[in-house]
Chain A
Amino acid sequence: MATRIDRKFAALKAEGRPALVTYFMGGDPDYETSLKIMKALPGSGSDIIELGVPFSDPMADGPAIQAAGLRALKKGMSLTKTLALAASFRESDNTTPIVLMGYYNPIYIYGVDRFLRDAVASGIDGLIIVDLPPEMDAELCIPAIKAGINFIRLATPTTDEKRLPKVLQNTSGFVYYVSMNGITGSALPDTSRVADAVKRIKQHTDLPVVVGFGVKTAEQAKVIGTAADGVVVGTAIVNAVANTIRPDGSLVADPAEAVATMVQGLSSGVRAVRLAAAE
């Protein structure tokens, strides 16, 4: 069964360029504004949307995404509302894949079966759950696959040859290569090592491999995009939102516009990969 994610990567392959995968935090700075941000993403050049679910204790995230999650929670964001956000987006866009990214506890408390039912109904295509390694596949991964939702796994520099098959076993949609050991928003790693790592993963799977952690500029997106099937940008987008908010919570500029401008720039980076290839 081809999902929106599969169809998107097939289309991009035909187009000959990598995907731009954009992460933003649901509910940051508030529900309505984040819906506006989300709706503006595809038009700005985002191919796949990673919708962050705020969690009180984001153990794998750096300061920028931690702060974004707390801003969202303070404004009353929840998993229920994150699903509503996706459903609302789906009313006007039925093709851009949405991948929910977050931590397991809110889903566990929501109830796995109920969550999967509601996620499908809200047009969610994939899940990235940071704290569910393959060892815990029975929790959510297997039920998600049965429900028709892609379970996207992170591979990291610590994922060695021996472990890769286990990590890839129940992965579908795409593989997310975290290009360095660390929290989100850390510095960009050496690009030749990223290319090697992508090659290594591709020896084990036919799935597209996207690369994230540390990409901030169009130029970096282009460089990474040359070596991978997609580029994930998260912290830079979350920072673009943060930069429009004054300490007292009032807005300096329109967050949706700030994100759109940033994504347009990044998009020119991934699109340049096709131009370079065509030359």
Chain B
Amino acid sequence: MTSFQSTLGEEEGIADELAASQREISIAEFFEKNKHMLGFDSGARGLVTAVKEAVDNALDACEEAGIPPDIYVEIREAGDYYRLVVEDNGPGITREQLPKVFGKLLYGSRFHAREQSRGQQGIGISAAVLYSQLTSGKPAKITSRPKGESQAQYFELIIDTDSNEPEIKADEPTSWDRSHGTRIEVEMEANMRARAQLHDYIKHTAVVNPHARLELREPGTEEPLKFERGTDQLPAETSEIRPHPHGVELGTLIKMLESTESYSVSGFLQEEFTRVGKKTADKVLDAFRDRYFGREMAWATPDSLDAEAVVTAAVSGKGSDATETFAGRVAEALDSAGRLAHHELVRLVADAAETAQESTGKTFGDTVRANTVDAVWTGMTAARVDAAGRRVDADDDAEADDAESVLRAPLVALVDDATSSQKDDAVVTGLAERLAADVAGLDDSRHRLTRARLDRLVDDAADRMVEFDEVTFGDTARENVADALWTRMATVPDDVPNVSEVAGDRDTASSLLEAMRGTDILAPPTDCLAPITAELVEAGLRKEYDADFYAAATRDAEVHGGDPFIVEAGIAYGGDLPAEGQVDLLRFANRVPLVYQRGACATTDVVKSIGWRNYGLDQPGGSGMPNGPAVIMVHVASTNVPFTSESKDALANIPAIEDEIELAIREAARELKSYLNKRRSMQKRREKQDVLGRILPEMADKVSAVCGRDRPDIDGALARIMNNVSVEREYDEGAVRLVVENHSDRTEELDVTDIVSVEPADVPDDAEVVDLDGEWFVKWTPSVSGGDEAVLEYRVSDSDDAEFDVNVDGVETEKLTVNA
């Protein structure tokens, strides 16, 4: 260290020398060094990221224009490189904007908008362009045809890495078979090692965008992967919102204060923030006053105060009648007033002066009013009283020794209320007396204190007491006392500083920010968000996964840092999903699948922290990823999704968001649980049915053998054992009887369709006959309560050839015994 310093001292001009090597870093150079941050750390991953960025942009563009997206992705080998083509049917990009959109990093429409969208920073697609240009040296070829244009425009672009500006290599009109849309073609150094991730990305995109049609062509496969549309319903249009008062940082606030056109803070708040009207603005301002000016302590008028006498003494030269009237008014008002802070007393005296003025004609000016206020305030707060509460004059030596501050009694009561019952009287009075002395000794005789000063005051008093009285007075007790005092204090009516004053002083701005954060304000509106909705989450899963069971849940919007967010979860279970190994976790943010860094994602942490055994999934060790044939998907939609890095692969661990993720997953998981429970009980029922279905016939055979009688009919017994619903046919020379017996303990609604080969007759009113090409469908929907039976009777004309085939719905097959 020393040697280095001596070098510094010896050689002059080192700063100049250093300055010579200090220069601006171009954004492109920065990118080159930090490719990994943007998801371009390897050829395999770069390809996936490029596809992802291009597809995200395409989806955003289509949705904004209200067009159901139709997106074509093609990857082809091109010599040593890979050529990536992404085409959409979006609204197209104007000739002026296009070069910047693709050829300039950090250019975009999304960064400043509080609205849910896939892209946020304006890095993605231009980063892909930059990556291809850096690896293959070839320009990006972009064709775009804005809706309504007769021709498309073709560009070849590279990014000037020094200036971060697009360099246009070609710009010419061209013809294109799409009526509108954008096509981008880039060549890059890449490989297909991340094919699985690529497929995941495309497939998962299809899951959360059931309104989109996707097609992927890639080398090595004959047929393209196609994902058809599952719904025509586009996601709800989102609207941009102003920032929420809970979500701004100090720097942002100051910037907003500097640029606003409002003069007053109230106007500023209502103008620039969402969810702030007059009422909320007033609440924020009061909170701001508390922080900026402090509050004033309010005291009750003590019995010892002879208001009339005190006021009379303070007024001079107004004549005895007028003085008496004024003093009477003041005393009266004091009587009916509760606790008063200094500013309230000022107003009270002013009111009394006005009324006295009206009735007496004498003017009670500022001086009189000020004297009166001082005299009364002194009587209220600075007087000394004896044990009986009588005022003691300072010059009355005989009694002055035992006299106490007039503030002592109310403070004792307050401290006693605020502390636990275990504090004995000596401690309570000890603290109250010290507080009384401290308050009386305040520089500001109005007893005006900020919360911080109040805390210090209580702390000081408590510290001294601990030191001298050798008692304990803990932090909680101190806080309680300070809280009790603070609630008793009154917000002052002083005018708050205007916008430019707040903007000009960092501390003041900080007080305003605290006030904004400390005020309860309605959560931001959610029309800036477009959740997939539980219904479409399920539809998406259904479309891409062949499972037995699907559940989905969408939570209500919540706020994190002023940005609203909505969490949705879906679960698919069983069917063709692989039963071995861990469940599949699909993570989404603003409808974009997250395919990398699963382990670093808050979503993964939440899934691992849930006790899945409760929900019927296998979970080795009771924590971690569950096992089984299931897919769990989580979608977080927000105006500002907190990612762990720019490559947007993993959600950051924000407690508010994690809580919602957990609740959403649990909501869907509860449905899974009841499904699995039911399935299990059905399985047990099936097993029981299997075993009994074997045992009882054997028993019947044996019984008939032992008794030497015909084999008994055991269907009735079987149905009853299984709490079953049995449907039985009796047929006698053209008379058909279908008997439904419900042996369960609840009502069953059945759909019985008897398909008859000849025309039925005498069909009762509660059944319906449909003639279908020589077959007659007798439809009957009986409701049979537990333990009851229902009968359908009809006749068939030709009893010899009649064939019957009964089909029963509405009852689970496990519970149904059909013998007809």
- Indicate, yes or no, whether A interacts with B: no
Q: Spell out B's residues near A (CB within 8 Å).
A: none
